[in-house]
């Protein structure tokens, strides 16, 4: 297909166009670094989907509605799996310390054998190479924790870690923290934005961090954009951070040296 034949990007994509895009790899991933704040060591990266459609780079907000409408979220999750598998089998990353690959997955896939089975295999294959897959569940969608329990437990038993994404925004509820099998809490950037801006916001963020630490969850604070925010957070020993201040989503630089983290972000 010639570029001239492509529909303009403001026209909603059809089901066939999305499927063709996935097949032709017009969809691909940017990686955003996640760092341990105290040491500035990169401990992982989040894979963020992008789509080049008709010569324009689209962020998920532009095409997720169409994916949802055409019931293609599971297809996207299969595409993510293929890419993580490629990282594993091609050994493109060679971290010398544990390195976590965060992937965003729709909750539908957590009860889908076509997702669970390959994910388990991939996790086992990655383990000797210091790579740990982390499945992110978004708090922006409404989900019934009971329906996810068995899938999440199964994944964790095979070395996949589970992160709750966007915590503190959307549908997040403390009730979910009681029983949901979780390893990592990702604090939504809305709370980060309150640092230095809202006294009440700071108290809430402080409390959420203390709560997560007390339970034993690892914490990723999202959306860190300024040095002031980073310094404010530095009092929390062991907290992990993600955000434009530390690195933008970018293509992974696979030629980076052995620490394997690659990509300046």
Binding site for ligand G (CB under 6 A): 32, 48, 59, 104, 138, 165-166, 189, 222-225, 243-244, 249
Q: Minimum Å distance from CB 1 to ligand G?
A: 27
Which residue in the shown chain puts its C-beta closest to ligand G?
A: 243
Q: Both tokens of residue 87?
A: 């990282």
> Pick from 216, 215, 195, 197: which is nearest to 206 by CA?
195
Cα–Cα distance measured from residue 149 to residue 145, given in angstroms and rounded to the nearest whole number: 6
Find which of Mn ion, ligand G, none residue 48 binds, CB within 5 to 8 Å per kind: ligand G
Q: Which residues pair with 240 in a beta bridge?
A: 36, 220
244, interface contact from Mn ion, ligand G, none, CB < 5-8 Å by kind? ligand G
Please tell me whether residue 165 binds Mn ion under the rule CB under 5 A.
yes
Q: At closest approach, how far in Å is the CB of 135 from ligand G?
A: 12
Q: CA-CA distance, 120 to 126, in Å (whole number)?
A: 10
Which window, 63-71, 110-118, 136-144, 247-255, contacts Mn ion (CB under 5 A)?
136-144
The item of Mn ion, ligand G, none sharing an interface with residue 223, based on CB under 5 to 8 Å by kind, is ligand G
Of 190, 180, 244, the closest CA to residue 212 belongs to 180
Of residues 143, 239, 142, the one with CA closest to residue 191: 239
Calculate Rg over the CA atoms of the chain: 19
- Residue number with CB closer to Mn ion (72 or 137): 137
Query: Binding residues for Mn ion, per CB under 5 A?
Result: 104, 136, 165
């Amino acid at each position: 297909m010639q570029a001239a034949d492509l529909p303009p990007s403001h026209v909603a994509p059809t089901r066939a166009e999305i499927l063709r895009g996935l097949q032709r790899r017009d969809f691909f991933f940017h990686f955003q670094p996640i760092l341990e704040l105290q040491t500035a060591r990169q401990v992982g990266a989040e894979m963020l989907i992008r789509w080049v459609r008709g010569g324009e780079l689209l962020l998920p907000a532009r095409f997720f509605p169409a994916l949802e409408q055409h019931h293609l979220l599971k297809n996207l999750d299969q595409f993510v799996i293929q890419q993580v598998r490629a990282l594993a089998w091609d050994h493109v990353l060679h971290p010398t310390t544990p390195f976590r690959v965060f992937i965003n997955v729709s909750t539908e896939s957590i009860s889908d054998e076509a997702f669970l089975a390959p994910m388990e295999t991939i996790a086992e294959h990655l383990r000797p190479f210091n790579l740990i897959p982390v499945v992110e569940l978004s708090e922006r969608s409404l989900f019934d924790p009971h329906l996810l329990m068995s899938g999440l437990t199964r994944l964790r038993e095979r070395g996949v870690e589970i992160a709750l994404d966007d915590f503190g925004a959307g549908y997040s509820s403390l009730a979910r923290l009681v029983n949901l099998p979780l390893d990592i809490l990702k604090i939504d950037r809305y709370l980060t934005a309150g640092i230095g801006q809202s006294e009440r916001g700071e108290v809430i963020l402080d409390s959420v961090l203390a709560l997560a630490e007390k339970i034993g969850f690892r914490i990723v604070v999202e959306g860190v954009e300024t040095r002031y925010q980073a310094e404010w957070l530095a009092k929390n020993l062991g907290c992990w951070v993600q955000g434009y201040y530390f690195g933008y989503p970018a293509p992974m630089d696979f030629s980076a040296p052995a620490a394997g983290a690659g990509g300046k972000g």
